[in-house]
Chains A and B, each alone.
Chain A
Amino acid sequence: MLLFNQLETYLYVALVLFFIGLYGVLARRNLIAILISVELILNAASLNFMAFNRFLAPHPAVGQVIALFIMAVAAAEAAIALSIIIAVYRKLKSVNVEQATELRG
């Protein structure tokens, strides 16, 4: 059985990507870096979809269509997130997430 012909391989690769992305979201302070990490998480998800599409799904277009949709959503999300980052920067003169503490109890 070849390595790249196994479902589990792709699942583990996606898992590692997800782990790295989640770590980035939790550890980084820069809002842009957090956005980058979120993109990694989204990619992990879309890789999973593609893998299931290749190995399990009854018809072969489903996963691809979903991967395309994820890309579109990611693009929209990036646009919004970036504009928010710019707005935050304008207000706080910083993109450090730890400085955004207006809602502290």
Chain B
Amino acid sequence: MDPILLGCLLCVILPLVAFGLIMIFTWRRPNLSLAISLVASTIPLIIAWTMLFKLWGIKEPLIFTFNWLVSDLVKVPFGFLIDPVSLIMLVIVATISWLIQIYSIGYMGGDPGFGRYYADLSLFAMSMLGLVISSGLLQLYVFWELVGLSSYLLIGFWYEKFSASEAGKKAFVVTRFGDVGFFMGLVFLTIFFGSLDIAGLNAAAASDKMPPWLITTSALLIFCGIAGKSAQFPIHVWLPDAMEGPTPVSALLHSATMVAAGVYLLTRIFPFMAASATAMLIILAIATLTMILSSTIGMVATDIKQVWAYSTVSQLAFMAMGLSAAGLAHGTLFAGYFHLTTHAAFKALLFLCAGAFIHHFGTNNFFVMSKEGGRKLTIPMVTVTIAALALCGIFPMAGFFSKELILGTLAHLDNKIWVLLGLFGAFLTSYYTFRVIFVMLFPRADDHPAWEQYWEEPEPHGHGHGDDAHGHGHGDAHAHDDAHGHGHGGHGDSHGVPWVMSFPLLVLAGFTLVLGFLQTPLETFLLGKSEPHEMSFVLLASAVGVALAGIGMAWLDWGRKTASWQGFIKQIPALETFFIQKWYIDHFWRWFLDTFIYGVFSKWFTYNDRRVVDGGVDAVAFSCIGGGRWLSFIQTAFLQFNLLFMVVVLAAVGIYLLMGR
């Protein structure tokens, strides 16, 4: 067998085997489960890096396919597609997934569901690796849903907590909502194009073999799925709630890899999507709106994970902006994809640092962390600052290079509004990021009046947000904060950060520092050639300028000695409430569900169920009973009478048949 094919198969099968083994046999035994899961994630890691080095510089994609379903009309292959795009994503997924497994040894240690946790992580690794190297869209869709399943399992990992299981359900249902669109797009493509092969689709769209209406419709339908998975407006509402899961899970699934699957899909079929300017424009608009929206909400959140979650939403939107702008301006997929790569490193780092704090202090509120002496945890504090700098796009962090590229792509568009909005988003990003950093770095004296405002009494464990069961319409945006339900509480005491947790932080910080300088080799690898970027000085200056301006603004509001610890947004109370209420989008969905789904569709379907379905069944049953009663007079219990009839009829039929001869 081809070693590459063998590697691909191992990547998919090993974690699946680990999942099965742990779930069936060893889930009661934490150490054994951990060992199995680690083996099953280390081997894919080695395979991924080996493949990257062996195949560095390949020109032609390697495709392995087998027939899965063959019918008259459609042929569905099952296979692997190895090209630069999938190779890099494979390495990202394998690496971060491995690091998270190491980190979780410390974070999840002592949790009663330790084995189950590692089983779910293995399931996720299997589905994500499978998604990355899928050769056809239908196969990708299968893994896509599997990823959604593992996301559901991991968000609701502490299922005994009501809000967590609700958040899991919400994530599943909302992403499914987008996936319906995705699937319709696939059906549409199958009917009118006949194949879902990724390479074939890209080639056909690039060579004008497909009618534009087909491309636009299916691209928009597929974007529904992308929007669901990558949390774009208006179905981004699940991602902030998904922070109910364990923090390593948030780092792995809900920032670095799984939510990036949507953007990855956009990259995967980039030539196809880019063939439709209309679709690209719509995606650009949605992504921009999402970016502004999530950045503004991030400005007022007090839960550190919420801040990073909204920052994830905005960065994903930023990638989508880069890709769609490139599609509009006939650019390449490199800008968006490069940001995906760097973002995976620094956002996972941000979450893991947050996890270290949460693990140590037992709260999600970063004001509380600050008061309790968060800055004394040296390694997380240093690395979180590095990651924050990367997020803002400050030289020499990785984010600087990738953000610069995206802004450059946006600037290529004729309409300059997009690049201005992008810069505005970058400003907001810097502001809310350094709000967190400054609050953590410079705690106030104990009697500072601001504490009152941000302090919340830790509630007892498992309090469950009973009143906002659906995660909609929180009266207060901070409701998620405290007592984040570490079912494994009781490690609030003052031990430092264990090495299993700090080691992944350092590795990721290393990536954050180095990755930016690999821009040219990566571009050569991805595109086959490296184009010199004529980086305009104005743009460069303004990008760094807005980032620094954001940081400065944060310094004024939160950092300096005399800072009031009031966001500048406090000046406009209406706007602040609007942001705290998350633009009322959760309210909108609540209202939409109540009015249309429950009020209209459910009602009709219930009526239909009662009257038509139940009524029909009842009618059949009652008519059977009545008919039986009525017909029972035939049953005289005179056996010979029955026999007589039988014989006469049979003989009569026989005679009738013989007469004709």
Residues of A within 8 A of B (CB): 22, 25-27, 97-98, 100-105
Contacts and interface: CB of A to CB of B under 8 A. Distances in A.
B647 A104 contact: no
Closest 9 CB pairs of A and B: A105-B632, A105-B635, A104-B637, A101-B637, A103-B637, A26-B640, A26-B644, A97-B639, A105-B633
B655 interface: no
Contacts of B643: 25-26
Chain A CB within 10 Å, residue with most, of B634, B639, B643, B647: B639
B636 interface: yes
B637 to A, nearest CB: 4
B638 interface: yes
B131 to A, nearest CB: 64
Nearest to A103: B637
B383 to A, nearest CB: 85
8 contacts: A25-B643, A97-B639, A98-B638, A101-B637, A105-B631, A105-B632, A105-B634, A105-B637
Given A25-B640, A105-B634, 7 more contacts: A97-B640, A100-B637, A100-B639, A101-B638, A104-B635, A104-B636, A105-B632
B8 to A, nearest CB: 65
Contacts of B633: 105
B632 A26 contact: no
Contacts of B634: 105
Chain B CB within 10 Å, residue with most, of A22, A25, A26, A105: A105
Interface residues of B, number: 13
Nearest to B633: A105
Contacts, number: 29
Contacts of B636: 101, 104-105
Nearest to B635: A105
Interface of B: 631-640, 643-644, 647
B647 A26 contact: yes
A104 B639 CA distance: 10
Contact of B635 (A27, A98, A100, A103): A103
A83 B634 CA distance: 29
Contacts of A25: 640, 643
A35 to B, nearest CB: 13
Contacts of A98: 638
A97 B638 CA distance: 8
A67 to B, nearest CB: 24
Contacts of B632: 105
A103 to B, nearest CB: 5
A79 to B, nearest CB: 21
A84 B19 CA distance: 61
A33 to B, nearest CB: 12
Contact of B637 (A26, A27, A102): A102
A97 B632 CA distance: 20
Nearest to A34: B640
Nearest to B630: A105
A20 B8 CA distance: 81
Contacts of A102: 637
A66 B631 CA distance: 42
B565 to A, nearest CB: 89
B641 to A, nearest CB: 9
B640 to A, nearest CB: 5
Contacts of B638: 98, 101
Contacts of B635: 103-105
A25 B639 CA distance: 10
B85 to A, nearest CB: 75
Contacts of A22: 647
A103 B632 CA distance: 10
Contacts of A100: 637, 639
A97 B643 CA distance: 13
Contacts of A27: 640
A40 B448 CA distance: 114
A42 to B, nearest CB: 16
Contacts of B631: 105
Contacts of B640: 25-27, 97
B308 to A, nearest CB: 76
A101 B635 CA distance: 10
A81 B635 CA distance: 23
A41 B640 CA distance: 16
Nearest to A105: B632
A74 to B, nearest CB: 19
Chain A CB within 10 Å, residue with most, of B631, B634, B636: B636
B645 to A, nearest CB: 10
Chain A CB within 10 Å, residue with most, of B632, B640, B643, B647: B640
A15 B631 CA distance: 36
A22 B635 CA distance: 22
A25 B633 CA distance: 23
B597 to A, nearest CB: 50
A100 B633 CA distance: 16
Nearest to A102: B637
A7 to B, nearest CB: 19
A100 B638 CA distance: 8
A27 B639 CA distance: 11
A105 B635 CA distance: 5
Contacts of B639: 97, 100
A36 B611 CA distance: 58
A101 B639 CA distance: 9
Nearest to A27: B640
A39 B636 CA distance: 26
Nearest to A104: B637
Nearest to A98: B638
A103 B636 CA distance: 8
A103 B647 CA distance: 21
Contacts of B644: 26
Nearest to A99: B637
A104 B638 CA distance: 8
Nearest to A97: B639
Contacts of A97: 639-640
Nearest to B632: A105
Contacts of A104: 635-637
B627 to A, nearest CB: 12
Chain A CB within 10 Å, residue with most, of B633, B634, B637, B647: B637
A97 B636 CA distance: 12
A97 B639 CA distance: 8
B92 to A, nearest CB: 75
A98 B638 CA distance: 6
A1 B126 CA distance: 89
Contacts of B647: 22, 26
